[in-house]
Amino acid sequence: MLIEEKSSLVREIEEFVKLYGKKRSSLLPILHELQNKYRYISDFAQQEIARQLGIHPVEVYGVISFYSFLNTEPKGRNLVRICQSVTCDMHGKENIVKAIERELGVEIGGTTKDNKFTVEYANCLGLCDQGPAMAVNDRVYFNLTPEKAVKILNEAK
Amino acid sequence: MEIQKTIRKGSVIFSSYEKGSAIKKIIGLPREDILLELKTSKLKGRGGAGFPVSTKWMLTAAAIEDEKYIVCNADEGEPGTFKDRVLLTEYTELALEGMIIGGYTIGAKKGIIYLRGEYEYLMKPLQKKIEEYKNENLLGKSILGNEEFDFDISIFLGHGSYVCGEETALIESLEGHRGEARNRPPYPVNQGFMNKPTAVNNVETLATIPHIITKGAEWFAQFGTDKSSGTKLLSISGDCEKPGVYELPWGTTIKEVLELAGAKNTKAVQVGGASGICLNKTQFDRKLGYEDAGTGGSIIIFDESRDMLQVLKNFMEFFVEESCGQCTPCRIGNVKLLEGVKMIENGDFTFRYLEKLKELAGTMQVASKCGLGQSSPNPFLSILENFKDEILNSVPGGNYER
């Protein structure tokens, strides 16, 4: 990481701390902002957040590792999460997964070579009446067919 | 986000409601009157645990503290449950007004909606609605001119953790920690968010309250049964023609639910989501209610073509992933139960070992720290018991062949 990048990240975290307040309960909202922007929370960012909030870096890491929407390694530009809960499974989740794996040339859990997609499983997206369902970033899609799922991904930027 | 809109019919939550009417009615009323109304209605928590709302609010109201909180639990993570999604999309005002009434009753100035990360797309519409309420003086300072009543609602986004639906884990998460359940006592009603008295209520519970306030406790209690008053939103999914959210009075039998949803050749019904119990054909006369088949509202229907062992495997994989790992019975227990399921799948098990696993399941039910580990053995026990002919006895010697 370049020194310039580091100092801009420091400033950015300062802004968030100002916005949410210098308190422990601001940790998740701040992590959410950084996760949204950078798609991961780097070691440096973790240490900087800890320093500014006055807590130990291990506390920050502990929180990140607990929540499945936060991660310490970079992911692809688009995060595809396919619902693996029982009703989506019954309604053809497997076919959707296979089609996406074939089309993108990546296995579930992996990231495409061009860094465009990371494909994961998700636990219940709350769309059991309209499964199979998946989420691409913060949008959800349901009543999927393999063809429809692939088309949605082809339209992603 | 376009989610299909349907015309919903129901006698309580889906009945007609004029925005703001419950708030207009309570402003100026003594809190005791509201608590008494709730007590008469016998409304119990709709998240699944069924704790009486009047008791929870009375304890929070009685706590002597300047700061109190009311939290709307919208961390709907139970597989097969999606009623809160519908409520927050189509009946937002009911949930908000439930919180406002709660704030007034317990003396809280702040309400927090804990919205699960998977529902991030509901954040903007919710914020818009909150703004609308502020503009109409139904939220904010001196609500409807009552100078003693200030109340604000903020939204806190979850980050994809099932266990955060448990109230103390949810509070930990709000405070910026890992979502690990706390020891109780102290209960959140005394020491919750920031160690201040906190009432945590399910979206559906809160959405029911404005109706009780405007139409009366007796009107509400005429629906349902004696021990389970009112109606329940059911999230029906699986093998049926008409999946979706239905509002039905407590006391409805599984058979009636199946007919309504257009389910054919039904073999099994999972009541209460992954952590609920699985019923077979002989049990379809059972009634939904806290006294019989209790549920947070999830009904998953399986027809004859489904492999119940695979269903169980799906549930156990879910629990292994979502156990927070804090207490041993849950962390290790779920892994062992899943191993057992895989053994059956491979035809590599003994009945003696399965008995041991059932014992372990019983231990988990009593020794786990929170509801997750206490209820995760439910599908294991009920599916193995109710479908043992299919799973264990279909082949001589008990080998399971696919």
Q: Where are the domains positioned within chain B?
A: 21-221, 231-303, 308-393
Q: Is it the case that residue B207 has pLDDT exceeding 60?
A: yes
Strand order, beta sheet including B266-271: B244-249, B231-238, B298-303, B266-271, B277-280
**C-alpha–C-alpha distance, residues A104 and A100, integer Å:** 6
Scanning every residue of chain B, which has its alpha carbon at the shortest distance from the alpha carbon of A136? B118
Strand order, beta sheet including B152-157: B152-157, B110-115, B69-74, B198-202
pLDDT tens digits for B46-80? 988 899 999 999 999 999 999 999 999 999 999 99
**Both structure tokens of A25:** 């309960």
* CB within 8 Å: B318 and A90: no
Scanning every residue of chain A, which has its alpha carbon at the shortest distance from the alpha carbon of B155? A29
**C-alpha–C-alpha distance, residues A85 and A93, integer Å:** 9
Scanning every residue of chain B, which has its alpha carbon at the shortest distance from the alpha carbon of A28? B176
B306 interaction partners in chain A (CB closer than 8 Å) = 90
Q: Under a CB-based contact definition with an 8 Å cutoff, are residues A130 and A118 in contact?
A: no
3-state secondary structure chain A: CCHHHHHHHHHHHHHHHHHHCCCHHHHHHHHHHHHHHHCCCCHHHHHHHHHHHCCCHHHHHHHHHHCCCCCCCCCCCEEEEEECCHHHHHCCHHHHHHHHHHHHCCCCCCECCCCCEEEEEECCCCCHHHCCCEEECCEEECCCCHHHHHHHHHHCC
Query: Under DSSP, is residue B156 helix (H, G, I), strand (E, B) or coil?
Result: strand
* CB within 8 Å: B76 and A131: no
Distance between A25 CA and the closest CA of chain B, angstroms: 4
pLDDT tens digits for A120-133? 999 999 999 998 99
Nearest to B118 among A89, A125, A129 (CB): A125
* CB within 8 Å: B162 and A123: yes
**C-alpha–C-alpha distance, residues B401 and B380, integer Å:** 19
B237 interaction partners in chain A (CB closer than 8 Å) = 87, 128-129, 131
Nearest to B243 among A31, A125, A129 (CB): A129
The yes-or-no answer to whether A3-66 and A78-155 have a common fold is: no
Q: What is the pLDDT of residue B5?
A: 52
- B308-393 is classed CATH 1.20.1440.230: yes
pLDDT tens digits for A44-95? 999 999 999 999 999 999 999 999 999 999 999 999 999 999 999 999 999 9
Task: Give residue for tokens 């500014």.
Answer: A52
Mutation target to probe the A interface, by most A beta carbons within 10 A, among B1, B2, B5, B118 is: B118
Q: Is it the case that residue B401 has pLDDT exceeding 80?
A: no
Distance between B17 CA and the closest CA of chain A, angstroms: 26
Nearest to A128 among B117, B178, B237 (CB): B237
**Per-residue pLDDT band at B395 (split at 50, 70, 90):** low
CATH topology of domain B231-303: Ubiquitin-like (UB roll) (3.10.20)
Q: What is the pLDDT of residue B49?
A: 86
Instruction: Tell me B348's DSSP state.
Output: -
Share of chain B above pLDDT 70, in %: 96
Q: Is it the case that residue B8 has pLDDT exceeding 90?
A: no
Q: Is it the case that residue B155 has pLDDT exceeding 50?
A: yes
Longest dimension (CA), chain B: 76
CATH: 2.60.40, 3.30.70, 1.10.150, 1.10.10. Which one for A3-66?
Answer: 1.10.10
Mean pLDDT over each residue of chain B, to the nearest integer = 94
| A78-155 homologous superfamily | Glutaredoxin (3.40.30.10)
- B21-221 is classed CATH 1.25.40.10: no
Q: Where are the domains positioned within chain A?
A: 3-66, 78-155
Q: Is it the case that residue B3 has pLDDT exceeding 70?
A: no
A25 interaction partners in chain B (CB closer than 8 Å) = 174-176, 194
pLDDT tens digits for B105-118? 999 999 999 999 99
Over residues B256-275, mean pLDDT: 96
